[in-house]
Structure 1
Amino acid sequence: MSNTINITSAFWSRYRNLVRTEMIPFQWNVLNDTAGIKIEKERLNDEGIPSEKSNAIENFKVAAGRTKGTHYGWTFQDSDVYKWLEAVAYSLREKMDPELEKKALETIDLIADAQEEDGYLDTFYSILGIEYRYQSLAGSHELYCMGHFIEAAVAYYEATGNEKVLKVAKKAADNIDANFGAEEGKIHGYDGHEEIEIGLLRLYHITNEKRYLSLAKYFLMERGKHPDFFKEQAKVYKGPNALGGIEKATASYFQNHKPILEQNTAEGHAVRVVYMCTALADLAATTGDRVIYEACKKLWDNITTKRMFITGGIGSTVHGEAFTLDYDLPNDTMYCETCAAIGLIFFSRQMLRNEAKSEYAEVMERALYNCTLAGMALDGKHFFYVNPLEVKPSKSLKDPGKSHVKPVRPSWLGCACCPPNLARMITSLDDYIYTVSDDCILINQYISSKASLAVKDGCALIQQTTDFPWDDKDIMVVTNNSTSTIRVGIRIPMWADKVTLKLNGKETMVKPEWGYHYEEIEHGKTIEIQLMFSMPILRNYCNPMVSEDIGKIAISRGPLVYCLEEVDNGDNLCGLSLPEDAKLSYSFKADVLNGVGVITAYGKKLQQNVDNLLYTNKKPEKKDVKLTFIPYYAWANRGENEMEVWVRE
């Protein structure tokens, strides 16, 4: 029996409808080069990066022999199509759409036609030189792309029962298995970008083919044993340019500096790190290996307690889109890639399969409602690659060190990994609400929904009713239709200073175990749980080691981090301050940004000195001003303007 979850939340239904009706069709047009949009470069120095068009579908047509031409775009261009297909799978799971299904089936046929006879699947090498495959793994993204296809295939098979797409995926996985492994004659290596491990584990979960599990474990455990593997390959590589200089990157950029089980800190490219951790945590949960789980926990702790922004963003520098060092969290030069926040959500979900600790669901919530949602505009057609916590448009325009920080979301980017990743994240959101085992269900996210969840020899029905993230109440009705007693764990939010829980109308004492309150439900019984959590407006302070935010505060309410925008508060936001005794007021504004909770207060604004001097020994005056804070995810939807999360106190 599989789980079925229907999201009814007003907040999330809007986003999911937007993805289905706007985002997926728009992305399809982009992939087919019919959207009529300008594709922007990520940075000022990206002249050599292919960004005139997507060409993703055309690449498959050329590889399949349907048209003549050459490959255009990144080595990982195929993955844009695969992530789109995965989003389509989840969308069809929620609501069948004959026209969308037709496009998906045509795409699957095209992918199958582009696949080599032996299962190899990659348009870059099929078009430019199949004899060079698997020889430049630092930058070729061959396994990365096939990993994304396998994920899409599994999702599509589970949603529709389509056997053809699963057959193509297994054929690709078998080709990888035939070429990689510890055996003599195979390649003793792995892709520069982790992802195939996630795909292989998902394939194992639905096929129970142990070789896929073994291969995923091999890739994870082999990484870091030979730190010079990529450089050694690059020295003898003679094929088409798949490297672009990436082979010169440090081993830590690839998480290849030491074996994974010996890594204590998150190093290198942030997306690669959390994709690696997602697979590692899945492997730990699947095999019950506590040593692997403890390795995950070390990396989790380092990321979430020393290297994560308050928005759930990760990645502190544009150079390598990477982590740097503990407590290095700059607001205006950071990276905080949308894909990295999504990867952190993936990691959180797998950690919950290992251990019922609410910290995993809390981080999932933080990354979801803030950095991830900020990655897309309210129209579903404009996207951020980078999610800053402070923006001054003139600096983004004129400072090369900040050219990656966009003040408005482009329609598309030359490196377009984030838009389809957002689409698959939002369409699969139902998979993140609960963690289900044989005899226990964890309610991780407060999202109105109706669910039928497989437990032991039956199912449990759960209906959540809430207006979260604006409202402070969630009513959960749980029916146990199995023949055994089950436990339900309700997350007690860390941001609430008061929580009340009623069981069948009667108040009961909240007894959290690692952040979850548990109730037992006998077979055939139904209970109503009413969870009421205060949602105070919080002033958040940084660890004193975070030098960029000393003397500043960040405002939050519930899961949402708030920010100031120039459109509400005038320019020069850096001159604003919020006194310690200022009263903060909350109100919901249905006519603002599609309906958001707004926080207001009276603060101060520095005044320009009379002589307009660059430096002076006279203390500047301050005047009283009204400050308006909006949810961070909604910024940059009203034109180009300044934005700031951390405000002087």
Structure 2
Amino acid sequence: MYQSDVMETDLRKLTVNDPFLGEYQRLVRNVVIPYQWDALNNRIPDAEPSHAIDNFRIAAGQQDGEFYGMVFQDSDVTKWLEAVAWSLCQKPDAELEKTADEVIDLLAAAQCEDGYLNTWYMLKEPGQRWTNLAECHELYCAGHLFEAAVAFFKATGKRALLEIACRFADHIHRVFGPGEGQIHGYPGHPEIELALMRLYEVTGNRNYLQLANYFVEERGAQPHFYDIEYQKRGGTYHWDNWGEAWMIKDKAYTHAHKPLVEQDEAVGHAVRSVYLMTGVAHLARISGDEAKRQACLRIWNNMVQRRMYITGGIGSQGIGEAFTSDYDLPNDTAYSESCASIGLMMFARRMVEMEGDGHYADVMERALYNTVLGGMSMDGKHFFYVNPLETYPKAIPFNHIYDHIKPVRQRWFGCACCPPNIARTLVALGHYIYTPRADALFINLYVGNRMQVAVGEKNLDLTLSGNYPWQDNVEITIDSAEPVEHTLALRIPGWCEDAQVELNGERYCGEIDKGYLHIRRTWAAGDKIALTLPMPVRRVYGNPLVRHLAGKVALQRGPIVYCLEEADNGSELHNLTLDKNSTFVEVPGSGVMANKILIQAQGYRQGLSAPQDKPLYQFDRPMTCKEPQTLTFIPWFSWANRGEGEMRIWVDESHTCL
């Protein structure tokens, strides 16, 4: 069951050349990374200043001033560094690498003698280190530093950032643990757990593995650590605008209400939840811990079967950016933070590694092609923090249940966790495309690329090509210089009903195990696999327990979820109905929708003559008509790229025109 022989794809030996996601990688490299560098240096007009680089300069004694920003502002810099690192794997850039080296030198200059590095506490609250783990993100920021360090070392071989990270991790290992004089606590915002696992795999230092395990196992222990440190602080709290000690008192908010191995639901802050479970799944696989594995399975199943949107979004309420209860998935007030879907991809990746089950890759794909892509505009300079499934812009300024909803993407945020998170994810796609194991190479995502992976003493070279997800044909060609015996495990997506596979021109029929078709042979240069994944437009219906979806239908083609937008269909989208018997016509997009497939279908618009003259309520049924209208559906990730307007995924369905 446990796979300890999983390797990580070396992104220096993988080149994404996909006509779709390859363009996103080029956008990140050429536009997003420079744009976000300007944002970190307060150079974006009419946008919230970041001050994140200035904070480090002040901490290093290179600039006068005061700390500005959120308590977790440091993490914006380290996520940007991680994006730079993975981008350098795809395409070397001497000038960009030089800028990153200078930032790393800045971090080294700011780091304390004992290894500590956090500009909030160094500048704003000196002497108060580690006094508010529940609220103040010290360990969260450390985790993002560790992830950036691993990425930069793997991308460039340079150790400067890795040494900064290890000094800090060694300091944390001295401070935290079960020993006398150590802090018996854990982070309010999980992140360091998954980062310590990555640091352990790169350095082989078991202290990092043990520390990750300590943080996981201490979570939820009694007496509760958050209460202890709250009392030690004299009952003070950081987020005074969120109600008295709310983060501290609501233990489920951080998955700390009871020991993790006793939990069975996805609860609390959605990003915290999936970041934590990413680390736990990694730890369970490496250590062979069955109790942790079972916790991962239970929490995953609850989340995906009862608390996840069709878009791969998670976290259905704005208050606490959190999960609510089973089947509570409102569309117009959905929170569905971009970071949460990125965390879901991370969790799914670790579950694929542990279980070898395509179900997890199906969810990973759903999150990627919908919410993660939708979190960034097509120009690379505007971002969604929140990703609703329905918007009615006329109501948003006046109704406070929509305070978290933006009908168009923003240039930047005061809390800017999502933009650099999207950037680092898109340039690290190779880690999700493949899961290399000693016994097989699992192909999870059909993103066009060339790659090389070690198989024993030999190398397996292959090229994956196609125009997925718009076309249904994928080709895998072997390019190895010498024959290699190995297994290729091809994911057959859960949405695909009639996949067909040919090997060197002959139909191949093999057993599908946990969603993967395993093909074992001695592969030689020129061998070809042709995979056809038919992707007709399909109607999707919600579980009857999801009250928000009663009588409604959504459209999905391949992994892409579609929506109606005002730009194509006019306003008052709630008056549109899709005919149950209508056929679907696939049409090519144009303008900003170029190179995408749109869907048209017969529907109806319910209308009243002069509705503004009608009473708000009446006893007699109003005289209405349903006029035929051709409905145009666009890929949901591409909405709000043509200005402000209404949008909805779930549409009323009717049998006939009444």
Q: CA 1:483 to 1:66, structure 2 compared with 1: closer, same or farther past 3 Å?
A: same
For 2:33, which of 15, 20, 24 is the aligned residue? 24
User: Paired residue for 2:374?
Assistant: 374
Q: CA 1:628 to 1:13, structure 2 compared with 1: closer, same or farther past 3 Å?
A: same
Q: Supply the distance in 2 between the matched residues of 1:231 and 1:132 (Cα, whole angstroms).
A: 17
Q: Answer yes or no: is 1:189 the counterpart of 2:188.
A: no
Q: Supply the distance in 2 between the matched residues of 1:526 and 1:277 (Cα, whole angstroms).
A: 41
Letter in 1 for 2:205: E
In structure 1, list runs of 5 or more residues that go unmatched.
Answer: 40-52
Mean CA deviation greater in 109-118 or 482-491: 482-491
1:110-155 per-residue CA deviation (whole Å, 9 max, x = no partner) reads 1111111000110011112331100111111001001000100110
Counterparts of 1:322-337 in structure 2, within 5 Å, are 322-337=322-337
For 2:103, which of 93, 102, 107 is the aligned residue? 107
CA contact (8 A) 1:313 1:371 kept: yes
Q: Supply the distance in 2 between the matched residues of 1:484 and 1:555 (Cα, whole angstroms).
A: 42
User: Paired residue for 1:473?
Assistant: 473
CA contact (8 A) 2:264 2:299 kept: yes
1:348-386 per-residue CA deviation (whole Å, 9 max, x = no partner) reads 100011011110110000000001111000000000000
Q: State the 1:568 CA deviation.
A: 0.5
Q: Supply the distance in 1 between the matched residues of 2:457 and 2:521 (Cα, whole angstroms).
A: 15
1:53-90 per-residue CA deviation (whole Å, 9 max, x = no partner) reads 21101110111111122111111000000100000000
Q: Supply the distance in 2 between the matched residues of 1:128 and 1:522 (Cα, whole angstroms).
A: 61
User: Paired residue for 2:250?
Assistant: 250
1:608-628 per-residue CA deviation (whole Å, 9 max, x = no partner) reads 256523224225221111100
1:579-625 per-residue CA deviation (whole Å, 9 max, x = no partner) reads 11011111222544242110001101110256523224225221111
For the residue of structure 2 that corresponds to 1:522, the secondary structure is strand
Q: Answer yes or no: is 1:12 the counterpart of 2:8.
A: no
CA contact (8 A) 1:476 1:529 kept: yes
For the residue of structure 1 that corresponds to 2:220, the secondary structure is coil
For the residue of structure 2 that corresponds to 1:538, the secondary structure is strand
Q: State the 1:494 CA deviation.
A: 1.6
Q: State the 1:37 CA deviation.
A: 2.9
Counterparts of 1:149-298 in structure 2, within 5 Å, are 149-226=145-222, 228-237=224-233, 242-244=238-240, 245-298=245-298
Q: Answer yes or no: is 1:618 the counterpart of 2:627.
A: no
Q: TM-score, normalised by structure 2?
A: 0.94
Q: Supply the distance in 1 between the matched residues of 2:236 and 2:34 (Cα, whole angstroms).
A: 33
For the residue of structure 1 that corresponds to 2:543, the secondary structure is coil
User: Paired residue for 2:3?
Assistant: none
Q: State the 1:236 CA deviation.
A: 2.5
Aligned length, in residue pairs: 636
Q: Supply the distance in 2 between the matched residues of 1:199 and 1:422 (Cα, whole angstroms).
A: 17
Aligned alpha-carbon RMSD (Å): 1.7
Mean CA deviation greater in 270-279 or 458-467: 458-467
Letter in 2 for 1:628: T
Q: Supply the distance in 2 between the matched residues of 1:96 and 1:279 (Cα, whole angstroms).
A: 30
Letter in 2 for 1:612: K
Q: Supply the distance in 1 between the matched residues of 2:287 and 2:594 (Cα, whole angstroms).
A: 45
CA contact (8 A) 2:478 2:524 kept: no
User: Paired residue for 1:351?
Assistant: 351
Counterparts of 1:54-69 in structure 2, within 5 Å, are 54-69=50-65
Q: Answer yes or no: is 1:632 the counterpart of 2:636.
A: yes
CA contact (8 A) 2:15 2:90 kept: yes
Mean CA deviation greater in 281-290 or 24-33: 281-290
CA contact (8 A) 1:217 1:283 kept: yes
User: Paired residue for 2:309?
Assistant: 309
Counterparts of 1:357-436 in structure 2, within 5 Å, are 357-436=357-436
For the residue of structure 1 that corresponds to 2:593, the secondary structure is coil
1:250-290 per-residue CA deviation (whole Å, 9 max, x = no partner) reads 00001100111111001100000000010011111212223
Q: State the 1:493 CA deviation.
A: 1.5
Q: State the 1:227 CA deviation.
A: 6.6
User: Paired residue for 1:34?
Assistant: 43
Q: State the 1:512 CA deviation.
A: 1.1
For 1:73, which of 64, 69, 75 is the aligned residue? 69
Q: State the 1:301 CA deviation.
A: 0.4
Q: State the 1:530 CA deviation.
A: 0.5
User: Paired residue for 2:493?
Assistant: 493
Q: State the 1:291 CA deviation.
A: 2.5
For the residue of structure 2 that corresponds to 1:192, the secondary structure is coil
Q: Supply the distance in 2 between the matched residues of 1:625 and 1:595 (Cα, whole angstroms).
A: 25
Q: Supply the distance in 1 between the matched residues of 2:535 and 2:171 (Cα, whole angstroms).
A: 52
Mean CA deviation greater in 142-151 or 585-594: 585-594
CA contact (8 A) 1:391 1:642 kept: yes
CA contact (8 A) 2:584 2:601 kept: yes
Q: Supply the distance in 1 between the matched residues of 2:642 and 2:371 (Cα, whole angstroms).
A: 18
Letter in 2 for 1:139: E
Q: Supply the distance in 2 between the matched residues of 1:65 and 1:31 (Cα, whole angstroms).
A: 19
Q: CA 1:248 to 1:206, structure 2 compared with 1: closer, same or farther past 3 Å?
A: closer
For the residue of structure 2 that corresponds to 1:395, the secondary structure is coil
Q: Supply the distance in 2 between the matched residues of 1:342 and 1:107 (Cα, whole angstroms).
A: 25
Q: Supply the distance in 2 between the matched residues of 1:287 and 1:148 (Cα, whole angstroms).
A: 23
User: Paired residue for 1:518?
Assistant: 518
CA contact (8 A) 1:335 1:388 kept: yes
Letter in 1 for 2:183: I
Counterparts of 1:535-554 in structure 2, within 5 Å, are 535-554=535-554
